Amino acid sequence: MSQDLWNYLFIGATFGLYILIAFRTRAATTKEYYVASGGVSPFANGMATAADWMSAATFISMAGIVAASGYDASRFLMGWTGGFVLLTILIVPYLRKFNKFTVTDFLGDRFYSNFARFVGVVCAVFICMTYIMGQMRGVGLVFSNLFGVEIWLGVLVGAAIVFFYAGLGGMKGITYTQVAQYCVMVFAYTIPAVFISILLTENMVPQLGLIGNYTKDGAEASVPLLQKLNQLNTDLGFASYTDGSLTTLDMFCITAALMCGTAGLPHVIVRFFTVKSVKAVRKSACWTLLFIAVVYLTAPAIGAFSRTNLITEVNGVTYEEAPDWMKNWESRGLIAWADKNQDGKIQYSGKGPVFESGAGWSQRNGGAQPPKNLVFNKKPLYHGEHRLANGARELKNQLTANDNEFYYEKDILVMANPEMAGLPKWVVALVMAGCVAAALSTAAGLLLVLSTSISHDLLKKIVTPNMNDKQEVLSARVASFSFLAIAAYFGINPPSEFVAKTVAFAFGLAASSFFPTILMGIFSKRINREGAIAGMIAGIGLTLGYIIYFQFMVEHKDYLFGISPEGIGFVGMLVNFAVAAGVSMVTPPPPQEIVDMVESIRTPTNAGDATH
């Protein structure tokens, strides 16, 4: 069977499965739509939350980032798992006891203010929108790589599927499809890792392979894998794999911001509203982190293995000797080789990018305007399918003066893994189905928060309080269709070249708005409406201002205290805490019924069913 056929088979079969599940579990009432009637088992909710949480970026890009930056990538590994500890011990048990449909409900009720509710709606919509665009883009990329279709077609197919089961099925439909998607993802992620681990280290547990010996050159020549990798990296002029290049303060702030941001992401929090009791929340959180850890503990192993493979198989060989996977991904336009020194061999080096990006060209050339015939682009641009005598595709890009001749897109490593390990075609198809599952499951969870923000928090609670149940579900469906249309549009025409930039927004925003405000709402009885609103505005203002200033307004990177925009959410959070505490001190304390409410969410009895 051909690769295409396998791909169609796997993707088609998984899509069919998701739609079948969604059809059988479709929601009729608001309670089913928002929280799946609050009757999901802790185990199933754990799987669903894991799938919800692990996005296309986690599945496709994370191992690639680990491979490219070694220790520095630990900020994502720790940040995106450590956040679950904060989430579990500080946020979700209490919000579950509070017993409403959305995170914004808590802000509105605890701070007795529709303005706080409105700020919550805006933040939730903004966080989820930035996030969902990346997911739609991810689906589009997988489809275009797989079937050679245009990205827009892939985005539309993905959007249609998500609308079908999230828009129609609500939380109930999403929950059980996410369980299925988690299963697809976890097999797709770990199976190739096991085989590569056996190939490189003769250890069938990838996590042990990572700390074991590299045995591919024979048993006598075996050396520790990480030592081998450090050697390979430094020989080529890269930073040593196990040492970082970020400053400790920056690393600290980014990790902390990712952790606190994780604990403030509304689409993850609401997943815990679907279980029966506070006790079930605690249990479900354990399952969730366990399911996530399976993937997150594998990612560093995949990163190290594929980095080793990449360098040993590609560096210093001619095009004919290069492995097949390299040629396959070159033909898809995600790998490029420019033989700068004309020696016929591929030289990979850490001295800098292969292609001239155009930034600063004028300064280096005495202020001259670059000639029109030079092509500046960070990514390869080819002369169609034309190939040079050495076998490689001919490039249009203006090349840089450094030794580096080899370009690869970081995101391809997970997708190329099965080919690198020489696994059968169906494994490649499984990995592709896993990529799509990761993107769809996250998109569905986000879409639910987006639609409930509008139908429940904005319409029902602020604009038209006398709406009935049926109208509310209908407006949720209309809202999810509209948001999906917007997300699909931006998935096809991404507003910024770097999706990663917008991810910094989402986490920074969650860390500086939701997390600290909810935390204070639970753990302090003194924080009042004025304090919470002032704190949120200060935190968000600082974070957004800083990110926008450095990402979009200036070219230089002279960060304040060396904290990059990725880590500024942590500072924003501290500012939020300080301002909220200060303002609350000088304004009247919250009314008695709010104090009683805080008192009641602290005890776990009678969590009951979620209500309006």
User: Which residues sit at the interface with another protein, rule CB under 8 A?
Assistant: 66, 71, 74, 77-78, 81-82, 84-86, 88-90, 93, 207-208, 210-213, 224-227, 242, 248, 251-252, 255-256, 259, 276-280, 282-283, 285-286, 289-290, 293, 296-297, 300, 599, 602-605, 607
What is the nearest approach in angstroms of another protein to the Cβ of residue 520?
14
How many angstroms separate the Cα of 515 from the Cα of each of 9, 117, 369, 522? 42, 15, 49, 11
What is the nearest approach in angstroms of another protein to the Cβ of residue 223?
9
How many angstroms separate the Cα of 215 from the Cα of each of 153, 198, 203, 368? 44, 9, 10, 53
Nearest to 125, CA basis, from 572, 455, 497, 549? 455
What is the nearest approach in angstroms of another protein to the Cβ of residue 604?
5
CB closer to another protein out of 251 and 436: 251
Is 6 strand, coil or helix?
A: helix
CB closer to another protein out of 82 and 138: 82
CB closer to another protein out of 73 and 142: 73
- Angle among Cα 333, 335, 336 to the nearest 5 degrees reads 95
* Other CB atoms within 10 A of residue 523 CB: 12
d(CA 344, CA 432): 33
CB closer to another protein out of 84 and 111: 84
Contact by Cβ (8 Å): 225, 201: yes
CB closer to another protein out of 29 and 222: 222
d(CA 524, CA 415): 47
What is the nearest approach in angstroms of another protein to the Cβ of residue 201?
10
CB closer to another protein out of 155 and 256: 256
Q: Where do the DSSP E strands lie in 20-101?
A: none
What is the nearest approach in angstroms of another protein to the Cβ of residue 252?
5
Contact by Cβ (8 Å): 58, 80: yes
CB closer to another protein out of 46 and 108: 46
d(CA 52, CA 438): 8
What is the nearest approach in angstroms of another protein to the Cβ of residue 268?
14
What is the nearest approach in angstroms of another protein to the Cβ of residue 42?
9
CB closer to another protein out of 239 and 467: 239
Contact by Cβ (8 Å): 263, 86: yes
d(CA 227, CA 97): 50
What is the nearest approach in angstroms of another protein to the Cβ of residue 569?
15
